[in-house]
């Protein structure tokens, strides 16, 4: 017995024992997950490695788990738990029934704060309510609607002129670039009363736009990178890109604020309040509001991500789908061509003049009547929602209608990108582009916003939905009436993983006149 006790336990033996024990533990841990439908996890780091490895294809990676037959699953990350769902009952519970328990939350706010600050899409509580109340009043205004219609028509014609040139030179044109210019010009004029000249014939470089996209991607990466604060501290990697990009974005934004303030001082009457920024500047003159230029900066950038990125992304995917589905493009043309009798278009004019004359017929009321065009755009949003995932914070422990337990401090994310591809919601042809699914007896028929959740629902339902449709239908009607669009052979079309579903390399297309 004494001999046994005296046997030395060497350092090498101890190390070997620890290694064997650790490997055994990891093997058992992984073996227990062999039938797990959700992403596989590791101790401490959870599913961070798998998520980061699939970051460039994040939305399809998430979709792949839903396609295994589940409607809700959880993914563990260092310090928090993410829950993903496509179940309409869960989505209604999150967005409406128990809305108060699912704010944007501290985690979302901290990750997005560098770019979006305390703007409407990154705020909760009284800050959110105040901004939404003002924006809601403005979006309901007929004055803003009529003003928007005029601006959207003018900008659509500028895009049309550029497309005419591309059709004559037979050069491929990046439609996403044009649409990003279109919507940036639109939101700056309608939202902030400032013209920036992005649609001039020379197509000038837009440092703001590229830097805004880089910042958008960088803050999205934070959700899956446990080391982003360390990178921020040393200003390296994605955080260095974010810092440089936000500097350019801020310079542009504060210049817009300064310009509008100067213009307001020399503007009288109703024109003084025609745009959203002016409303907020005038509101900020009330000492109780405590509005600073930083407040206005946050407001501007939030409306830009809503008014530029989302609409431009949808238009880009729409024309991409038309290039792949000429049958749909022809049906849209037939609907638009039917307006010609009213438009009394003079065929002897130049194409630019012909478009200009036709555009005068594209009033708000006429655009409302374009049922098939509306359905085709909506079908695009179903398959390529501008906001592919929307995470919410969890204030208190909760249980979703499907029985999923939620813990305080985590994130619950509903996923429009995946939901639009669920066969149990949309049928066996869920992944097909078929605008007819929205038409009944010749009339567009909407579905529950909890099944078609791209515009949210409940208290946070998208305020700019009608304005977005107005701009998209104006541009689409003009372009689809006069041109055919064909995808450039070999050009790769893929999304870029960030808060909105923009294309990584745009969508290059050849244009011919109809």
The answer to whether residue 369 scores a pLDDT higher than 90 is: yes
188 is in an annotated binding site: no
**275 in a structural domain:** yes
pLDDT on residue 1? 44
Q: What angle do CA 7, 13, 14 make, to 5 degrees?
A: 105
CB 131: neighbour CB atoms within 10 A?
22
* Position 301 in a domain: yes
**8 A C-beta contact, residue 182 and residue 199:** yes
| pLDDT mean over 290-318 | 89
Count the residues in the chain. Answer: 514
Range of the domain at 148: 105-391+435-513
Contact 288, 221 (CB under 8 A): no
User: What secondary structure letter does DSSP report for 486?
Assistant: E
Mean per-residue pLDDT for 344-354?
75
Q: Quick check: is 176 in a domain? A: yes
Could you give the number of structural domains in the chain?
1
Contacts of 430 (CB under 8 A, 6+ apart): 420, 421, 422, 423
What is the CATH number for 270? 1.10.630.10
Strand segments, DSSP code E, in 52-181 are 72-77, 80-85, 173-174
Q: Are 108 and 411 in contact (CB under 8 A)?
A: yes
> Where does the pLDDT of residue 283 fall: very low under 50, low under 70, confident under 90, or very high at 90 and above?
confident
Please check the confidence at residue 32 and state whether its pLDDT lies above 70.
no
pLDDT value at residue 478:
97
Q: How far apart are CA 59 and CA 68, in angstroms?
A: 15
Q: Is residue 258 part of a domain?
A: yes
Q: How many other C-beta atoms lie within 10 A of the C-beta of residue 182?
A: 27
| pLDDT at residue 357 is higher than 50 | yes
Mean pLDDT, the chain, integer: 89
Distances from the Cα of 99 to the Cα of 102, 130, 258, 334, angstroms: 6, 17, 37, 43
Residue among 72, 192, 121 at smallest CA distance from 499: 121
Q: Is residue 30 part of a domain?
A: no
The residue with greater pLDDT, 317 or 190, is 317
Q: Quote the tokens at residue 103.
A: 């704010």
Q: Quick check: is 408 in a domain?
A: no
Residue 483 contacts by C-beta under 8 Å, 6 or more apart in sequence? 163, 167, 511, 512, 513, 514
More confident residue, 306 or 228: 228
Domain membership flag for residue 480? yes
Mean pLDDT of 17-39: 67
3-state secondary structure string across 228-246 = HHHHHHHCCHHHHHHHHHH
Predicted confidence (pLDDT) at residue 63 exceeds the cutoff of 80: yes
Question: Tell me, what's the pLDDT at 22?
Answer: 67
Helix or strand or coil: residue 430? Answer: coil
Q: How far apart are the first and last CA of the chain?
A: 98
């Amino acid at each position: 017995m004494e001999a046994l006790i005296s046997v030395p336990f060497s350092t090498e033996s101890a190390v070997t024992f620890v290694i064997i024990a650790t490997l055994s533990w990891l093997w058992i841990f992984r073996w227990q997950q062999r039938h797990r439908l959700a992403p596989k996890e590791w101790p401490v780091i959870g599913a961070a490695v798998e998520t980061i490895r699939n970051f460039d294809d994040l939305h399809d990676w998430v979709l792949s788990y839903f396609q295994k037959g589940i409607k809700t699953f959880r993914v563990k990350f260092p310090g928090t738990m993410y829950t993903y769902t496509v179940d309409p009952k869960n989505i209604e519970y999150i967005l409406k029934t128990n809305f108060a328990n699912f704010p944007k939350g501290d985690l979302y706010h901290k990750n997005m704060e560098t770019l979006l600050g305390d703007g409407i899409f990154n705020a909760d509580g009284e800050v959110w309510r105040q901004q939404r109340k003002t924006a809601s009043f403005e979006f309901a205004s007929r004055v803003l609607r009529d003003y928007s219609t005029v601006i959207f028509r003018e900008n659509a014609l500028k895009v049309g002129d550029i497309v005419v040139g591309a059709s004559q030179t037979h050069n491929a044109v990046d439609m996403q670039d044009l649409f990003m210019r279109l919507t940036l010009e639109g939101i700056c004029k309608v939202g902030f009363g400032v013209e920036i000249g992005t649609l001039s014939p020379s197509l000038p470089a837009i440092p703001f736009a590229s830097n805004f996209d880089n910042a958008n991607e960088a803050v999205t990466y934070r959700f899956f990178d446990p080391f982003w604060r360390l990178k921020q501290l040393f200003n390296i990697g994605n955080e260095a890109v974010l810092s440089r990009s936000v500097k350019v974005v801020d310079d542009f934004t504060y210049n817009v604020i300064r310009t509008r303030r100067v213009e307001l001082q020399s503007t009288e009457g109703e024109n003084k309040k025609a745009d959203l920024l002016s409303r907020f500047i005038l509101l900020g003159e009330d000492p109780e509001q405590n509005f600073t230029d930083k407040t206005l900066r946050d407001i501007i950038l939030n409306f830009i991500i809503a008014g530029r990125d989302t609409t431009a992304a949808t238009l880009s995917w729409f024309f991409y789908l038309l290039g792949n589905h000429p049958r749909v493009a022809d049906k849209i043309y037939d609907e638009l061509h039917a307006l010609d009798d009213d438009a009394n278009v003079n065929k002897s004019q130049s194409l630019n003049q012909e478009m200009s004359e036709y555009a005068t017929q594209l009033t708000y009321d006429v655009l409302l009547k374009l049922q098939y065009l509306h359905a085709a755009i909506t079908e695009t949003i179903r398959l390529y929602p501008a906001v592919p995932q929307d995470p919410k914070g969890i204030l208190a422990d909760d249980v979703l209608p499907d029985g999923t337990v939620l813990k305080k401090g985590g994130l619950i994310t509903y996923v429009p990108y995946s939901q639009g591809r669920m066969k149990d919601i949309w049928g066996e042809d869920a992944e097909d582009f078929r605008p007819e699914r929205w038409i009944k007896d010749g009339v567009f028929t909407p579905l529950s916003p909890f099944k078609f959740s791209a515009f949210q629902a409940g208290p946070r339902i998208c305020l700019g939905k009608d304005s977005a449709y107005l701009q998209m239908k104006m541009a689409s009607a003009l372009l689809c009436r006069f041109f055919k669009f064909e995808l450039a052979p070999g050009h790769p079309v893929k999304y870029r993983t960030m808060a909105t579903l923009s294309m990584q390399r745009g969508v290059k297309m050849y244009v011919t006149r109809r």
